[in-house]
Amino acid sequence: MEEESKETEAASSTQAKEPGTGKPGGASRSAGALRVLKKLRVPLIFLGALIVGLWIGYSGIGGQPTLDIFRISTWKHLFDLVFAD
């Protein structure tokens, strides 16, 4: 019985604790956050490249207002032009 309590104390003292609260799990939260950021890195880069490409093409080359790339009416008009009968 005494050995079990010593093992439990040893195991609890080696667990990562969240700073300021003394609760275990601080290291696993940051590891989970890093894992999520690693998975989102490529889609976020693609999204950024898309926005920059739209900005360069529509505003820089086309000479249109920059904020028009975020308006749905712009894309409805483009869709109508491309798929017109």
Q: What is the pLDDT of residues 8-30, one digit of tens each?
A: 555 555 555 545 555 555 678 88
Kindly report whether the global pTM for this prediction surpasses the value 0.75: no
Do 37 and 29 touch, CB atoms closer than 8 A?
A: no
Residue that wins the pLDDT comparison between 33 and 8: 33
Gap between the Cα atoms of 44 and 76, Å rounded = 25
Whether residue 84 has pLDDT greater than 70: yes
Gap between the Cα atoms of 27 and 7, Å rounded = 21
Q: What is the per-residue pLDDT for 72?
A: 95
Contacts of 52 (CB under 8 A, 6+ apart): none
Q: What is the per-residue pLDDT for 31?
A: 87
Contacts of 74 (CB under 8 A, 6+ apart): 58, 68
Q: What is the per-residue pLDDT for 8?
A: 56
Every domain of the chain and the residues it spans: 23-82
Band (pLDDT 50/70/90 cuts) for residue 3 is low
